[in-house]
């Protein structure tokens, strides 16, 4: 499959130490393709991957231009439209030209505006956590795998320790603890401040628990890579250790890193929504799909669209990201292709 | 290399010392025992008291069966491993226990060519990056001159200099080995340790790569430590040969003396195992020495002479007294109490 270059006069070519005279006529013919670029071109040919990427970019676009989209509709996510709600809290209108997805029961906030703004925390939390866990996980994994000895033992012990902690319990407990540390008791807390602390504590908790599995994966990869002879060749040439780590080993880990990040991203979207639904993630007034779902459950009989809009949003986003992650994994590891 | 750059590079030199000298070098690896507190620790004596010398421009062959410590010796000379005992002197300076910072200037002088051309090149780097590693690491050429030098090196090893932008997976095994050779040459070393450089290649490519190494040695005057288990290749390429058995050098001397009149029983057995092309032409087959038993474990080597468990000449003294590497016949050093040339011709004709 891969083209081999013609052997240039291997038989009895006279040895010459004269400087070569590169022919400037065809510089592009000798340009090779790196394994990463081959994987990306394989990915580009995958239709499902490209559609998924398009959907994902659409959601990113929605999140970035949420204020603009809300303005296009002429609404914003915090205005209470009391006049459109009856005495029992049910909305008087369905889908109208003014309110594209209708309005919330009880408070009467515009659903479309809350939906487009709701894409923001999902993507910000998932994106930030993915970036943080990837950086921490890769660094720890590289160091543990390459250093070996007691460094490896201590880091592996920390990884095992974190993986053995009850994740859900901590996810519920830590935000509450941080809240009392930074805001004080719940009575005198300002809602905006509480929402902010909740936001950062969610990122913190997910990051603390997320890096360990990647670090373990990278450590394993490094353990096998460092025995390869090109690492020894670099050491024989006197290449400093940090360069061996980041210039020789890291490029060989691009595949597993991208794959793990692309698989982690949708799980964090789901986790954020799930924790928020349980009441331990984000809180009002932050517009979040998880929050909307949690309120909408009680109104499902009378007002099903209230629930369906965020559910469909999350489903499409996670489905697209998962398919994209699978496609990336297949592109980087052709052996698993279906 | 001019004197100015030599002085700047920080490589010290003792006048009159051989280029490379191994003095009673030992490498014992620890293997974890079963006991708590590492009570059951054992030591694998991979290399146990090897002494070798290498003069400028000389080629020293290192032969022996698998597991006798050849590759470990290569990794000790290139200081990928720190020996547990003995001295490794480069131009008279002991580099055996230098740390990475002190060692850095010496890294350029001793280079390694690897056995497996598929794992010795980083698959994510272009050929230009791989060959240029030494140039960048040791600031050997200005940034603008790097490409020119890389192309020069590629041409020197018989590759198309235009291919500097390609990746290793686009090359065949023989070409990859040439890239590995170019990478070693880039550092302008005085010593190249070649750890079975052709045993992973098929026979026709082996000859090409051997010819390339031969040309490089003649033109650049680099000293080689050539490790192989193919005795024919070693005879073709090396000035002197050392035979290793179970972590020790059992016989060492000039090529022709060693191949024609080996004094050590192990060398005799090794040489008699070389396939004989004469048989095809009707010459009666040589008397082949068949060794019985297996190589003893390097964890628990036999007392005295290490070869005694498989040696047909072994007597009581072999178990009690360790034979020293002494000169028995003209320049041939042998570690055996009963060193004597073979009674009948055991050596196959040279092909």
Provide the pLDDT confidence category of residue B154 given band limits of 50, 70 and 90.
very high
Q: How much is the pTM?
A: 0.78
Residues B230 and B345 in one domain: no
Number of Cβ atoms within 10 Å of the Cβ of B142: 9
Shortest CA distance from A19: residue in chain B: B152
- pLDDT > 70? residue B111: yes
pLDDT score at A254: 85
Residue B8 lies in a domain: no
> What is the chain B residue with the closest CA to A239?
B137
Distance from the Cα of B193 to chain A's closest Cα (Å) equals 11
Q: Round to the nearest angstrom and report the end-to-end CA distance of chain B.
A: 38
What number is the average pLDDT over the span B16-22? 87
Beta strands in chain B (DSSP E): 20-31, 42-54, 59-63, 85-90, 93-94, 110-113, 191-195, 223-227, 240-245, 248-254, 326-329, 332-334
Query: Are the beta carbons of B351 and B275 closer than 8 angstroms?
Result: no
- Is there a domain that residue B77 lies in? yes
Asked if residue B244 and residue B350 are part of one domain, the reply reads no
Q: Which residues of A touch B134 (CB under 8 A)?
A: 237
Q: Of the candidates B262, B294, B329, which is a domain's last residue?
A: B262
| A20/B116 CB distance under 8 A | no
Nearest to A16 among B112, B156, B166 (CB): B156
From A26's Cα to the closest Cα of chain B, the distance in A is 9
Residues B315, B349, single domain; the answer is yes
24-53 in chain A: CB under 8 A from chain B: 26-27, 29-36
Structure tokens at B173: 């095994």
Mean pLDDT throughout B59-72? 89
Q: Cα B273 from chain centroid?
A: 21
pLDDT above 90 coverage of chain B, percent:
24
Q: Mean pLDDT, to the nearest integer, of B288-317?
A: 84
In a domain, B39, yes or no: no
CB-CB under 8 Å, A248 with B208:
no
Question: Which of B137, B166, B171 comes nearest A238 by C-beta?
Answer: B137
**CB A232 to CB B138 under 8 A?**
no
Domain ranges, ordered by start, for chain A: 35-336
Between CA A145 and CA B259 the distance in angstroms is 46
Which DSSP symbol is given to B324? P
pLDDT in tens, B4-17: 344 455 777 777 78
Interface of A with B in 215-274 (CB under 8 A): 228-230, 232-241, 243, 248, 251-252, 254
pLDDT of B16 reads 78
Q: Do B122 and A248 touch (CB under 8 A)?
A: yes
Q: Are A10 and B158 an interchain contact pair (Cβ–Cβ within 8 Å)?
A: yes
Q: Which of B223, B238, B262 is the last residue of a domain?
A: B262
* Residues of chain B positioned with their CB less than 8 A from the CB of A22: 151, 161-162
Which chain A residues touch B165 with a CB distance below 8 Å?
30-32
**Whole-angstrom distance, CA of residue B196 vs CA of residue B180:** 13
Count CB atoms within 10 A of the CB of residue B165. 18
Distance, in angstroms, between B276 CA and closest chain A CA? 27
State the pLDDT at residue B257: 87
Domain identity same for B234 and B315: no
Residues B53/B20, Cβ–Cβ less than 8 Å = yes
B270 neighbors B342 (Cβ within 8 angstroms): no
Residues B307 and B232 in one domain: no
Query: What is the DSSP track for A104-166?
Result: -TTT--BHHHHHHHHHHHHHHHHHHHHHHHHHHHHHHHHHHHHH-HHHHHHHHHHHHHHHHS-
Rg (alpha carbons) of chain B, rounded to whole number: 22
Work out the minimum CA distance from B145 to partner chain A, whole angstroms. 11
Q: Which residue has the higher pLDDT, B235 or B351?
A: B235
Decide if A252 and B124 are in contact by the 8 Å CB cutoff.
yes
CA–CA dist B81, B84 (Å, integer):
9
Please indicate whether residue A34 or residue B75 has the higher confidence score (pLDDT): B75
ipTM computed for the complex: 0.83
Q: Give the rounded percent of residues in chain B with a pLDDT score beyond 70.
A: 90
Residues B239 and B150 in one domain: yes
| A16–B159 CB contact, under 8 Å | no
**Domain topology for A35-336:** MetI-like fold (1.10.3720)
Rounded Cα gap, residues A126 and A132, in angstroms: 10
Euclidean distance between CA atoms B327 and B305, whole angstroms: 17
What is the rounded distance in angstroms from the CA atom of residue B90 to the CA atom of residue B105? Answer: 12
CA-wise closest residue to A231 among B112, B140, B173: B112
Distance between CA B37 and CA B40 in Å, rounded?
A: 8
User: Does B254 reside within a domain?
Assistant: yes
* Chain B hits for A15, Cβ within 8 Å: 156, 215-216, 219
Q: List the single range of A147-151, A176-180, B257-261, B295-299 with lowest mean pLDDT.
A: A176-180
Residues A229, B125: C-beta atoms closer than 8 Å = no
Asked if residue B7 is part of any domain, the answer here is no
Local mean pLDDT, 10-residue blocks, chain A (338 residues) = 40 40 43 77 86 91 83 73 70 70 74 83 90 94 89 93 88 81 68 81 89 92 89 90 89 86 88 86 79 82 81 90 87 63
* Residues in CB range of B132: below 8 A, 6 or more apart: B146, B149, B150, B186
Contact A5 B163 (CB under 8 A): yes
Q: How many domains does the structure of chain B reveal?
A: 2
With contacts defined as CB-CB under 8 Å, which chain A residues touch B100?
238, 240-241
Q: Which domain holds residue B222?
A: 17-30+44-262
Same domain, B224 and B111: yes
Q: A226 and A145 in contact (C-beta within 8 Å)?
A: yes
One domain for residues B93 and B241: yes
Q: The domain spanning residue B71 has which CATH number? A: 3.40.50.300
Residues 6+ apart with CB under 8 A from B116: A229, B200
Whether A86 and chain B come into contact, CB under 8 Å, resolves to no
- Residue where a domain terminates, one of B227, B262, B297: B262
Most A CBs within 10 Å, among B104, B162, B192, B193, to test the A interface: B162
Confidence of residue B35 (pLDDT cuts 50, 70, 90): low
Q: Which of A151, A140, A146, A152 is nearest to A240 (CA)?
A: A146
Residue B340 lies in a domain: yes
| Interchain proximity B163–A17, CB inside 8 Å | no
Closest to A124 (Cα-Cα) out of A301, A272, A224: A272
Whether residues B350 and B298 share a domain: the answer is yes
Query: Distance between CA atoms of A305 and A93, rounded to whole angstroms?
Result: 12
């Amino acid at each position: 499959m891969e083209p081999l270059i013609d052997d240039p006069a291997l038989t009895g070519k006279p040895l010459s130490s004269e400087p070569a005279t590169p022919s400037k006529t065809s510089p592009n013919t000798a340009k090779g393709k790196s394994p990463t670029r081959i994987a990306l071109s394989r990915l580009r040919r995958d239709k499902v991957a490209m559609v998924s990427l398009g959907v994902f970019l659409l959601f990113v676009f929605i999140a970035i231009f949420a204020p603009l989209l809300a303005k296009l509709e002429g609404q914003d996510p915090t205005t209470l439209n009391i006049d459109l709600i009856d005495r029992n809290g049910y909305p008087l209108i369905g889908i109208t030209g003014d309110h594209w997805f209708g309005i919330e029961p009880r408070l009467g906030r515009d659903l479309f505006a809350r939906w487009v703004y709701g894409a923001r925390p999902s993507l910000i939390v998932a994106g930030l956590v993915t970036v943080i866990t990837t950086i921490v996980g890769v660094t720890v994994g590289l160091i543990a795998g390459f250093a070996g000895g007691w460094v490896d033992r201590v880091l592996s012990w920390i990884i095992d320790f974190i993986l053995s902690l009850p994740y859900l319990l901590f996810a519920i407990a830590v935000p509450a603890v941080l809240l009392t540390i930074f805001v004080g008791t719940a009575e005198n807390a300002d809602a905006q401040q509480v929402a902010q602390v909740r936001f950062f504590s969610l990122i913190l908790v997910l990051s603390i628990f997320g890096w360990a599995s990647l670090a373990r994966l990278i450590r394993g990869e490094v353990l096998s890579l460092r025995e390869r002879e090109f690492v020894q060749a670099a050491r024989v040439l006197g290449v400093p250790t940090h360069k061996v780590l980041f210039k020789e080993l890291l490029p060989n880990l691009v595949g597993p890193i991208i794959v793990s990040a692309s698989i982690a991203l949708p799980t964090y979207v789901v986790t954020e929504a799930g924790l928020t639904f349980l009441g331990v993630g984000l809180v009002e007034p932050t517009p979040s799909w998880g929050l909307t779902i949690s309120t909408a459950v009680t109104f499902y009989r009378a007002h099903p669209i209230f629930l369906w809009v965020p559910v469909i949003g999350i489903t499409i986003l996670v489905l697209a990201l998962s398919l994209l992650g699978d496609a990336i994994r297949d592109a980087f590891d052709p052996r698993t292709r279906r | 290399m001019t004197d100015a750059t030599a002085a700047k590079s920080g490589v010290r030199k003792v006048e009159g010392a051989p280029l490379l000298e191994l003095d009673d070098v030992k490498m014992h690896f620890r293997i974890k025992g079963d006991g708590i507190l590492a009570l059951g620790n054992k030591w694998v004596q991979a290399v146990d008291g090897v002494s070798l010398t290498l003069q400028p421009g000389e080629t020293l062959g290192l032969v022996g069966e698998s597991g006798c410590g050849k590759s470990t010796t290569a990794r000790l000379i290139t200081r990928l491993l720190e020996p547990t005992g003995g001295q490794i002197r480069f131009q008279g300076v002991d580099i055996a226990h230098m740390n990475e910072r002190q060692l850095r200037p010496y890294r350029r002088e001793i280079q390694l060519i690897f056995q497996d051309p598929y794992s010795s090149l980083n698959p994510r780097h272009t050929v230009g990056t791989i060959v240029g590693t030494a140039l960048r690491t040791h600031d050997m050429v200005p940034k603008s001159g790097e490409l020119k030098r890389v192309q020069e090196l590629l041409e020197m090893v018989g590759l198309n200099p235009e291919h500097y932008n390609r990746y290793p997976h686009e090359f065949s095994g023989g070409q990859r080995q040439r890239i590995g050779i170019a990478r070693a040459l880039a550092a302008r070393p005085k010593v190249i340790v070649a750890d079975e450089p052709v045993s992973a290649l098929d026979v026709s490519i082996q000859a090409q790569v051997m010819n390339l190494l031969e040309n490089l040695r003649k033109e650049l005057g680099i000293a080689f430590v050539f490790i192989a288990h193919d005795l024919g290749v070693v005879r073709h390429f090396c000035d002197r040969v050392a035979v290793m058995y179970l972590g020790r050098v059992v016989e060492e001397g000039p090529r022709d003396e060693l191949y024609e009149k080996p004094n050590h029983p192990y060398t005799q057995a090794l040489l008699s195992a070389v396939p004989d092309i004469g048989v095809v032409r009707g010459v009666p087959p040589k008397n082949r020495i068949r060794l019985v038993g297996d190589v003893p474990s390097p964890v628990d080597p036999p007392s005295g002479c290490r070869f005694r468990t498989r040696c047909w000449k072994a007597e009581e003294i072999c178990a009690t007294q360790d034979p020293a590497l002494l000169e028995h016949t003209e320049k041939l050093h042998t570690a055996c109490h009963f060193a004597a040339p073979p009674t009948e011709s055991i050596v196959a004709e040279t092909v």
